[in-house]
Amino acid sequence: MAALKRITSLTRALATITSTSRPCLQHATRKTFFTYVNEPSMPIPDKKPCWLKTADEAIVQAELDSDQVVYVQGAAATPVELLRAMTDYGVSCDVRNVRLYHMHLEGPAPFAKPENAKHFRSISLFIGGNVRSAVNTGNADCVPIFLHEIPRLFKEGYVKPDISLIHVSPPDEKGYCSFGTSIDCARSAVSYSKRVIALVNKYMPRTFGDALIHESHLDFAVEHHIPLPVHPMKAPSEAEQMIGKHIAENLVANGATLQLGIGSIPDAILSLLGNHKDLGIHSEMFSDGVVDLVNKGCITNNKKTIHQGRIVGSFCVGSEKLYEFMDNNPFIEMLAVDYVNDPRIIAKQPKMTAINSCIEVDITGQICADSIGTKMYSGFGGQLDFITGAAMSEDRQGKPIIALQSVTSKGQSKIQPVLTSGAGVVTNRAVVRYVVTEQGIASLFGKSLQQRAYELIQVAHPDHREALEKAAFERLKVMPAP
């Protein structure tokens, strides 16, 4: 019955395709070794994309089938309409066990609903909020992996996509589209995918660096013009503002190269750097606060040793102001994440200052950033890439920083005697240099366990310090001391 249902649904889906679209079926069988060029910026001779009217047609034409592997571009470039069409088709045609590889996705994730578990299995390379529940209930999965190593999955054949779903800017007069806001691992996934479906959107910023892809690499293209997902800046809390003040005034030097993500703490830090000079950006992602510092002349990138005079990033999510700033702007280079996050490249930057957050830290400096106990929350991401790169800095002036509020929203201490049972260690205690809360700065490099416990208890919330001292004595058999 399932097979009959699928045949009936497929017949109905094919009937919706216009007669002008039918010749595109010749593209369904992908290139041989002699015709397939896996460098996205190099045109494939005598090949053009098949332009279709709807995402539904594109999914049908690409012949989505059971047991296939699909790559999905993420962050602000999430092809939401293609995901909707893919899910509808998979359910109506009873397609089974399609594995979706992706980083953090924006927008709805209908494929991750419990009722669709037999059709699709999401495998996150970095978990977003829209699939977190599915991961923790067994309806989805995740891969613990350094961000800079994700492209290897595709290049070395660990993951072999049958279809890639991407989101690009319209082609220019020479046929070049741009991956826009999200290069990360998209370039490598597309390079090794059998078929590529692109959502083509005039709202996607046209960016440079590794972002360009020639239209001949697109098998099926659908115009779908809607604004990108936005994450507007929020006013930081008093505690977040104080964290930003500690870091901006004490740990960020003039001429430093910065890595920081998005959120209230990075925004608070950036808002307090208005008197700094010649700052640079080399970061997997960046946010709206960077735009303001560029406009003030604080970010010049003039002191950078490589990519001098350029902001370097790999993906982003922000406001319309950020997307407008990125569009057609040669001041920004969007590069593949295996380069941007390579600790050896990071270490070359002057005064490399890497600022990352976490879920909790124990009194010896172990950092948990990907789980709450046994419950998965996000992923390794690029934290250890940049913490390691800053620690390895060639000028010996790098600063690896972990920034967090001292307590949770429920008043529980984020500095713990031991990590919560089941919590994963993303950054080990040997590489952590600074831990910053609203209470102050803990300097850990070269410190013993006794000294580390003292430093960290000093930046814990006052309500929890006495209990932490007692727990530290119980664990270390000695009282914390400087």
Question: Binning pLDDT at 50, 70 and 90, where does residue 18 land?
Answer: very low
How far apart are the C-alpha atoms of 204 and 179, rounded to whole Å? 8
Residue 232: its pLDDT value, please?
Answer: 85
Residue 261: its pLDDT value, please?
Answer: 83
Q: How much is the average pLDDT of 9-20?
A: 49
Domains of the chain by residue range: 50-223, 238-476
For residue range 149-175, list pLDDT tens digits in order. 999 999 999 999 999 999 999 999 999
Residue 476: its pLDDT value, please?
Answer: 97
pTM of the model: 0.93
**Superfamily assignment of 238-476 in CATH?**
Acetyl-CoA hydrolase/transferase C-terminal domain (3.40.1080.20)
Handedness of CA 450, 455, 460, 464 (dihedral sign): positive
Judge whether 50-223 and 238-476 match in fold.
Answer: yes
Instruction: Return the bridge partners of 434, or none.
Output: 401, 443
Question: Binning pLDDT at 50, 70 and 90, where does residue 21 land?
Answer: very low
How far apart are the C-alpha atoms of 354 and 351, rounded to whole Å? 10
Count other C-beta atoms under 10 Å from residue 470's C-beta. Answer: 12
For residue range 251-295, list pLDDT tens digits in order. 999 999 999 988 899 999 999 999 999 999 999 999 899 999 999
Question: Binning pLDDT at 50, 70 and 90, where does residue 25 land?
Answer: very low
In contact, 291 and 299? CB cutoff 8 Å: no
CATH architecture of 50-223: 3-Layer(aba) Sandwich (3.40)
Q: What percent of the chain has pLDDT over 70?
A: 92
Using CA atoms in the order 152, 154, 159, 160, what is the torsion angle rounded to 10 degrees? -160
Q: How much is the average pLDDT of 345-351?
A: 98
For residue range 120-137, list pLDDT tens digits in order. 999 999 999 999 999 999
Give catalytic status of residue 333 as yes or no.
Answer: no
- The H-or-E segment that residue 402 falls in is strand 399-403
Q: Which of 240, 284, 360, 455 is catalytic?
A: 284
| 318's tokens | 């922000």
Instruction: Return the bridge partners of 100, or none.
Output: 70, 122
Q: Which one is predicted more confidently, 221 or 8?
A: 221
